[in-house]
Structure 1
Amino acid sequence: MPRTSRRSARARQESGAMPLEALIFDVDGTLAETEELHRQAFNEAFRAFGLDWVWPRDLYRELLGVTGGRERILHYIDHYAPAGGAGARAKVSEMHADKTVRYVKLIRAGDVAPRPGVRRLIAEAHDAGLRLAIATTTRPGNVEALLGAMIGREALSWFSVIAAGDIVPAKKPARDIYDYALRELGCAASACVAFEDSANGVRAARQAGLAVVATPSFFLSADDVSESASVLSDLGEPGRPARRLAGWRFAKGYVDLAGLRSMLDEANEIKRKTSTGGSPRADAAAR
């Protein structure tokens, strides 16, 4: 692991600061701008099932407020009353499985790239001995295909936990998927940072007690992610800084482990002062 100065290590110990132990990533929109491929796969699946349904981008942006692909189709049937909806309801699970196969084919065709800073930060965390986890509503097969395409098949072994799909009963914005990931990691929420792109994801992570770095994606750029510790255009790269939108400012202009440790210390200190009746807003403003 990278060396921390004796002074900073001693200061952290004396202050009771938790070390950074794990990074937990959402998948779609966070690791890569995958939603357009999901949209294409849904439309292809609809055609394959003899339906004339088409989800244009504006409609899909609205539908993304519903987490989970199967749930999204059911919501569409219930609220938009498309032609053939009554008959299609009985085939939703089959239709969604078909859509997943089509999406994985698009990913493996190389039609997606990681968002700026994602590959670098994951590699840095792995090399530093931090634990890595996934917390997502998408299916495990989608996660495996994306990680394999972005980083390589070896990246799958870097992740201690892949919490995906229907492994928990309630999907985001419920906290269940993050609670599950934390249990499997064996880490306290105060020792982890979550990465999200949506209001539903941020809400789930915050309810689980996690500090969040939000990088709003194309389809969810209007989402309210103000509960995040830091809101950025992306994770940034050396020589290509991220644009800070709100919250914590990373000194190097991109998200790195040292900056995450400092951000986490600040978030935990604010939480501590809030729980003891202090004034976290005044303290944060003074820093």
Structure 2
Amino acid sequence: MGRLAAVVVDVDGTLVDSERDGHRVAFNAAFEEAGLGDRWDIPTYGKLLHIAGGAKRLAFWFEKAGVPAGDARRLAERLHARKTEIMRDLIEAGKVQARPGVHRLLDELDAAGVPMHVATTGTRAWVEPLLDRVFGPRFQTVVTGTEVPELKPSPAVYLEVLRRTGCPADRTVAVEDSQNGVRAAVAAGLCCVAAQNDYTQDDDLSGAALVAGGFEDPALVAWFRRRIPPPQG
């Protein structure tokens, strides 16, 4: 890949450390409000992340506990709606922040005039407030799981970003953190850079062009600087 034409980023676990201290906290609060004894500790939630989608994660959990499939799905949908409301409250309270090094990279891309977009299968109800609060108006196009319900590793959300923006796939890079995310980006024909977090350090990220320990990893910093055009003006 030569100079970048655009960058498309994931949100959960990539831009922000939202899984452990955001979603997990919100799920547990929703359990408690509903009078359920279920609680997801940090290791348990890490294992559940291999199931894409919060409502599906809940349904799997309840079915595993012996709840009939139909009842598990209805309970999951109800709890997931409340969990999303709680997640919005956590975001508003500033509990979910950018990962170290993210703002530096975004600043450099912005200074170079590289368009930035978002491809997430999180719901717009919490994604939009999070992006507004933590990042402001940096992203030109944001596609979420509300518009594209097919979850990663399906490439659908990335393909929709490419369709809307017209970005050339061969000069657009995706930034992901997980195995499902990398698989989705690569299936859409994109080069992918992986910035691991604590939950995804054991994922198979072999499809990525670069696997970094985070946004402050010198290898990731150097990779982007070799491909970012000189600052405009």
Instruction: State TM-score, norm by structure 2.
Output: 0.89
Quickly say closer, same or farther: Cα 1:91–1:197, change in 2 above 3 A.
same
Matching of residue 259 in structure 1 with residue 197 in structure 2: no
Give the counterpart of 2:122 among 130, 138, 141: 138
Return the letter of the residue paired with 2:50. Answer: G
Matching of residue 98 in structure 1 with residue 82 in structure 2: yes
Write the distance in 2 (CA, Å) between the matches of 1:127 and 1:34: 27
Give the structure 2 partner of residue 67 of structure 1.
52
Give the structure 1 partner of residue 150 of structure 2.
170
SS in 2 for 1:119: helix
Assess if the C-alpha contact under 8 Å between 1:20 and 1:192 holds in 2: yes
Deviations 1:104-140 (A, max 9, x none): 1112212233112211211222232221111111111
Mapping for residues 238-277 of structure 1, pairs under 5 Å? 242=217, 249=219, 254-255=221-222, 257-261=224-228
Give the structure 2 partner of residue 38 of structure 1.
23
Quickly say closer, same or farther: Cα 1:218–1:29, change in 2 above 3 A.
same
Give the structure 1 partner of residue 11 of structure 2.
27
Matching of residue 209 in structure 1 with residue 193 in structure 2: no
Give the structure 2 partner of residue 123 of structure 1.
107
Matching of residue 224 in structure 1 with residue 191 in structure 2: no
* Structure 2 alignment gaps of length 5 or more: none
Larger deviation: 167-176 or 24-33?
Answer: 167-176
Quickly say closer, same or farther: Cα 1:56–1:82, change in 2 above 3 A.
farther
- Aligned CA-pair RMSD: 2.2
Write the distance in 1 (CA, Å) between the matches of 2:94 and 2:81: 21
Return the letter of the residue paired with 1:44. Answer: A
Assess if the C-alpha contact under 8 Å between 1:21 and 1:192 holds in 2: yes
SS in 2 for 1:214: strand
Assess if the C-alpha contact under 8 Å between 2:14 and 2:175 holds in 1: yes
Larger relative contact order (C-alpha < 8 A, sep ≥ 6)? Answer: 2
* Structure 1 alignment gaps of length 5 or more: 1-16, 237-241, 244-248, 263-287
Instruction: State TM-score, norm by structure 1.
Output: 0.73
Deviations 1:211-253 (A, max 9, x none): 11111111222111121111111122xxxxx15xxxxx45xxx
Write the distance in 1 (CA, Å) between the matches of 2:199 and 2:88: 20
Mapping for residues 139-158 of structure 1, pairs under 5 Å? 139-151=123-135, 155-156=136-137, 158=138
Matching of residue 185 in structure 1 with residue 169 in structure 2: no
Quickly say closer, same or farther: Cα 1:114–1:159, change in 2 above 3 A.
same
* Percentage identity across paired residues of the two chains: 38
Quickly say closer, same or farther: Cα 1:23–1:141, change in 2 above 3 A.
same
Write the distance in 2 (CA, Å) between the matches of 1:200 and 1:88: 24
Write the distance in 1 (CA, Å) between the matches of 2:44 and 2:11: 21
Write the distance in 2 (CA, Å) between the matches of 1:255 and 1:73: 40
Give the counterpart of 1:52 among 37, 46, 55: 37
SS in 1 for 2:227: helix
Alignment length (residue pairs): 228
Return the letter of the residue paired with 2:125. Answer: G
